[in-house]
Structure 1
Amino acid sequence: MSANLVPLETFLDLPDHARLLGLDLGSKTIGLALSDLERQIATPLETIRRVKFGFDAAALVKVAELHRVAGMIIGLPLNMDGSEGPRVQSTRAFVRNIAPLTSLPIAFWDERLSTMAVTRTLLAADASRAKRAAVVDKMAAAYILQGALDRLMRMAPQAE
C-alpha cells in the first residue's frame, strides 16, 4: 500500500484553510472538484480528458499545485454489493502510480451511485444530453468530495 494512501480521518489533521481535490476516475475522463478553504462545500472544477498516464498525472499534479490542495479524495467504484471489480483495481493502480509523483495524502470514498445521482439531478434540471455529457464527470467528483467533506465535518471535534 502507498504511503500516501491514508484513512479519511487523517484529513482532520490537515492545516486549516487548505483545499481538498475530489476525483471521479473514468476510463476516458477524470472529473475534478475542489473544496472551499473551510472544507465544507465541494464545487465542480474541470474534466481532464485522459490521454496517457504520464499526461494525466502531470495535469492532475498541476491542478493540485495551482489550487494549493492539501489532499485528494478519489472515488472508489465498488460494486453495488460492496465487492471490488475491475474498475476498483484500475483505480487502485492509478493511485499506486500517482503516489510517487506527489506528497499529498490520498483517501478513497465510496462512489456508488454518484454518477447516477448527478445524472438524475441534471435530467430534473432539463439539461440537454450534450450539456450532461460535458459536466457529469466534474459534478460526480463534486458529489464524491461533498460526501467526504460531510463525513469529515461529522468526525471533527465540536467546539464548545
Structure 2
Amino acid sequence: MRLLKADQLFRKVIEGGSKRQSRLLGLDVGSKYVGLAVSDDKNRIALPLSVLSRTKTNIGLMADDFITLALQVRLLVGELCKTGKLDDMSYTYWDENFTSKCVEALLHPLKLHDPVETKTMTDKFAAVCILQGYLDNMNRELISANSSEKTG
C-alpha cells in the first residue's frame, strides 16, 4: 500500500481509466471497533458498510492496541500492509475530528437502549461521516480545478 496525499488519491481513483470504477473505503479506527463505509460507484456518497471488532484473537488483522488515534490508523495500515494482500492499493489520511461526537448527537434522539448497538451504529456512521467529508471536499476541489482550467 502506498500513502498518497488526499487529492492525489482522489484523482487516481477518478482519472484511473480502469474498466472497473474504483470505490473508496472509509475507516473510523477505535481501540475496540473499526467502522467501515464505502463510496458509491461515482464516489459522491458514503454508505455504511459494517463494523469490525478488534480483539486479541484478530490482532493480526487489526493491529496492536494504539496510544493515539493517529498512531492507531498508521499502525493498522502497517499491519494490513504486512499481509501483502493490499499491495496494489493506495490510501490517504483524512481528518476525522468530532465525527463520533456528531453521530452520537444525531443518534441521541433515537433513544437506543442497547449500548452495543449504539456503539456499533456510532462507529459505522462515523466512518460514513469521515468518508463523506473527504468525498465532498475532493469533489469540490475537482469541480473548482476543472472550472479554472476552462476559464484559464
Q: Tell me which interval the TM-score lies in, with the shorter structure as reference length.
A: 0.7 to 0.9
Larger Rg: 2
Q: Scaled by the length of structure 2, what TM-score is found?
A: 0.76
Q: Which runs of structure 2 are paired with 1:72-151 in the superposition (5 Å)? A: 86-100=68-82, 101=84, 102=86, 103-130=88-115, 131-151=117-137
Match of 1:108, SS? coil
* Letter aligned with residue 6 of structure 1: L
Shift of 1:13: 2.2
Match of 2:45 in 1: 41
CA offsets 1:132-152 (integer angstroms, 9 cap, x no match) = 223111111001000000011
Q: Offset at 1:23?
A: 0.4
Using the aligned pairs only, state the percent identity.
31
**Residue ranges of structure 1 left out of the alignment (5+ in a row):** 58-84
User: Greater helix share, 1 or 2?
Assistant: 2
More strand by share: 1
Structure 2: gaps of 5 or more residues: none
CA distance in 2, matches of 1:89, 1:19: 25
Is the CA contact 1:4–1:99 (under 8 Å) kept in the aligned structure 2?
no
**How many pairs align?**
131
- Identify if the C-alpha distance between structure 1 residues 158 and 126 changes in structure 2 by more than 3 Å, giving closer, same or farther: farther
Secondary structure of the residue that 2:2 maps to in structure 1? coil
What does the per-residue CA deviation read over 1:55-102, in whole Å, with 9 as the maximum and x for residues that have no partner?
Answer: 337xxxxxxxxxxxxxxxxxxxxxxxxxxx733223222222223431
Q: Which amino acid aligns with 1:107?
A: T
